[in-house]
Structure 1
Amino acid sequence: MRKDDVELYQYTPETGPSILFTILFGLAGITFVFLLVHYSIKSKSKVASLVSSQSTLRCYDMLKLAGAYIPFIFGCFVEFVGFAFRCESSRYTTMLSPYIIQTIFLLVSPTLYAASIYMIFGRMATLLFAEKLMIMPAKFNTAIFVIGDIGSLLLQAAGGAMMSDKSIASSGSHLVTIGLFIQIAFFGVFILNEFLFLFRINRKPTSVLMRCGSWKSLNVVLLVNSFLILIRSIVRAVEFLQDYDGEIASHEWFLYVFDALPMFLLVLSFNVAFPLNNIFRIQEESIQMQLFARYDDDVYPDIDEISIEPDLVSKSE
């Protein structure tokens, strides 16, 4: 391992908290994988029975629906690896490699959670026939937010890597800061989108929205977790604006209180809420309402007003 004469920390890092969060994120990630597999298989069987007599319904392929949670799982893994290397870095404070890895991984992990939040919200709105209630066209809504998220991730990762070289450390810090502000900007717009969505729902709910109640609790989870990521990103942006000698960079507790803890609460909320409500359940309710509409167009008049995208059509199995 290469050593560097630069002081990597402005404090003496504690190993205990890093070990704790390594275990917590590892367990949470494994638990969520189990939940995702279990409920996706269970839902696939139920959806197959619902659509057996219909050739076209607005619904997602099960892999595409489950795919919305894949970035979240990678986020848990990245947090796990990041804190594992922070344990190593806390023990050997002059070793550069574990310091770089933990810095980059802990920086970029929230962008992975954000990607899942964007995709879940987009799929939920589509299944509820509520695309017109969003701030931008549904066709581009998820893609725009995810592209912004990827751009933020790449800038933060590149900047974190550059900070390991003294000659370009300042440029790396600027890149990370830019990446964080991009993340803050996109999340600010996304949260505005969610509030606008709720406001318009109250004014003009679709037939599906009035008969599918599960989306409300899922939307609350997405909204709360969006705020957790936003607060975390603001604090990290301030940290890099203050530079290496700033108040935040000089005290380790900021990392755990404003980064590790909010991100673990996000992961925990996904795990706790998933058995109670998830995107699979919303799809099942949506399909049931669409089938109900086949028998009573007066009750469900808006189903025929919205075109069905080819990639959303589920063929009978």
Structure 2
Amino acid sequence: MGSCSAQTNPNSQWPALCPNSGAAYLFAILFGLTLTAHIVQSIIYRKGYSWVIAMGALWQTACYVFRILSIKYVANETYYSVWFILMLLAPLWINAYVYMVLGRMVYNFTSSAKILGFKAWRFGLYFVLLDIFAFLVQAVGASMASGNDIPQSQIFRGLHIYMGGVGLQQFFICCFVGLAICFQRQMKRDAPVTDQRRALRMLYILYAVLTLITVRIIFRLVEYSKGYSSGIPVHEAYQYILDSTLMLIALVLFNIVHPGQIMPGKDSDFPSRKQRKVIGKKNVRGRMAGDLPIYEPSNAQVAEPAAEAEMSPTYPKIDETTITYGYAREFEERSNA
């Protein structure tokens, strides 16, 4: 039986363990496969926002590529630091994707396009911004705790900052789940049964992914609650089972039930800022309202009395460059009725 260079090399960056290169190769391949699937699905379904989940899969794949390099070159501090940081931060992309998907579900499966006063396009944005904040906190902590030849005080400080960011992430998840439950109740009132069934398939996937992320967060909090002295960091099985496998399952779940399947077509995307401005932000409603905005370029002149045009601020004057909105006309007719 050969010796393990990670343990025998005096300049090794690894803690007191002999890393398994076979497992690293396996997970690099598995994450690479789900990355490829997400790229293909985003192209097939034409969902530009799916680059976020693809980025999560890319970071997970890159994590294990650098882990393989670190196992081969045990004294290289850069390889070790990169895979360590990527492993800690990659799940935040998956978390952000959950927020973005639910925001689009609010638009597609409710009549008001809002939950507890939050508009669908703002709903996802706010939580993504909170996720970015948690990301930055965790990134600072992870970078401080990674590397060799650094004082123990800095390692502990970095781990505590990272754990604080993880705690923030979990707090935001709990708030998000509460809003998701409100959406589920409103969707059952607004959407037909067939649409409810489609929406629930996606919603249950979101709940499952958030559960997987929560289990991983608990694991990380326990792992670093005592720094590196807990014994968990020197046993690879914990990391593979309670971190990487959970995130792999989350990525595969989004492959099995992709948002593009549940919310197909261009009409399922949010109205653009220009559309919302012309229609009127307060007038934009969800797709279940049955009076969706019609967005179609037109070079045709629409005959309309000048006085009526001036009295209709929600319906723009028509010229060769104007985009017409049938929804705005319908709204004006209802207002004058």
**Range into which the TM-score falls when normalised by the shorter chain:** 0.7 to 0.9
Q: Which runs of 5+ in 2 are unaligned?
A: 1-8, 272-281, 286-291, 298-337
Counterpart of 1:174 in structure 2: which amino acid? H
Shift of 1:280: 2.2
Q: What do the CA deviations read for 1:218-266 (whole angstroms, capped 9, x no partner)? A: 1111111111111111211221213101132231111100111011111
1:33 equivalent in structure 2 = 39
1:185 counterpart = 2:167: no
Deviates more, 1:69-78 or 1:133-142: 133-142
Q: Give the distance between the partners of 1:230 and 1:136, measured in 2 at CA.
A: 27
1:265-284 to structure 2, matched below 5 A, reads: 265-274=249-258, 277-280=261-264, 283=267
The residue that corresponds to 2:130 in the other structure is: 148
- Given the alignment of the two structures, is residue 240 of structure 1 paired with residue 246 of structure 2, yes or no? no
Aligned: 1:24 with 2:8: no
- 1:258 equivalent to 2:242? Answer yes
What's the offset of the Cα at 1:153?
Answer: 1.2
Q: Hey, what's the Cα distance between the residues in 1 that align with 2:112 and 2:220? A: 33
Counterpart selection for 2:109 from 128, 132, 144: 128
- By percentage of residues, which structure has more strand? 2
Q: How many Å separate the matches in 1 of 2:247 and 2:112? A: 29
- More helix by proportion, 1 or 2? 1
The corresponding residue for 1:15 is 21
RMSD: 3.0
Contact in 2 for aligned 1:155/1:175 (Cα 8 Å): yes
Is the contact between residue 101 and residue 259 of structure 2 (CA under 8 Å) also seen in structure 1? no
8 Å CA contact 1:78, 1:105 repeated in 2? yes
Matched residues in 1 for 2:111 and 2:236: separation? 44
CA contact (8 A) 1:85 1:102 kept: yes
Q: Which has the larger radius of gyration?
A: 2
Give 1:81's aligned amino acid. A
Q: Secondary structure at the match of 2:296?
A: coil
The CA distance in 1 between the partners of 2:19 and 2:206, in whole Å, is 33
| 2:296 is equivalent to residue 316 of structure 1 | yes
For residue 56 of structure 1, what is the aligned residue in structure 2?
none
Change (3 A) 1:209 1:175: farther
Q: What residue is the counterpart of 2:332 in the other structure?
A: none
In 2, Cα distance between equivalents of 1:261 and 1:25: 10
**In the alignment, is the contact (CA less than 8 A) between 2:138 and 2:166 conserved in 1?**
yes
Match of 1:76 among 50, 57, 60: 57
Match of 2:77 among 96, 101, 112: 96
| 1:307 correspondence with 2:289 | no
Q: Does 1:166 align with 2:150?
A: yes
How far, CA to CA, are the matches of 2:111 and 2:19 in structure 1?
48
Contact 1:118/1:142, CA 8 A, preserved across alignment: yes
Q: Is the 8 A contact 2:166 2:217 kept in 1?
A: yes
Residue 301 of structure 1 corresponds to: none
The 1:174/1:286 distance shift into structure 2, 3 A limit, reads closer
Query: Aligned pair in 2 of structure 1 residues 130, 188: CA closer, same or farther (>3 Å)?
Result: farther
In structure 1, give the amino acid aligned to 2:133.
Answer: G
What residue identity is the alignment partner of 2:38? F
Aligned residues: 269
Mapping of 1:47-62 within 5 angstroms?
Answer: none
Distance 2:255 2:165 in 1: 28
Cα-to-partner distance string for 1:101-131 (whole Å, 9 max, x where unaligned):
0111111111101111101100110122355
Partner residue, 2:334: none
Alpha-carbon distance in 2 for matches of 1:95, 1:248: 23
- Contact 2:108-2:268 within 8 A present in 1 as well: no
Query: Residue 42 of structure 2 contacts residue 51 of structure 2 at CA under 8 Å; is this kept in 1?
Result: no
Distance 1:117-1:276 versus aligned 2 partners, 3 A rule: closer
Specify whether residues 252 and 128 from structure 1 end up closer, same or farther in structure 2 by C-alpha distance, changes over 3 A only: same
Alignment correspondent of 1:63: none
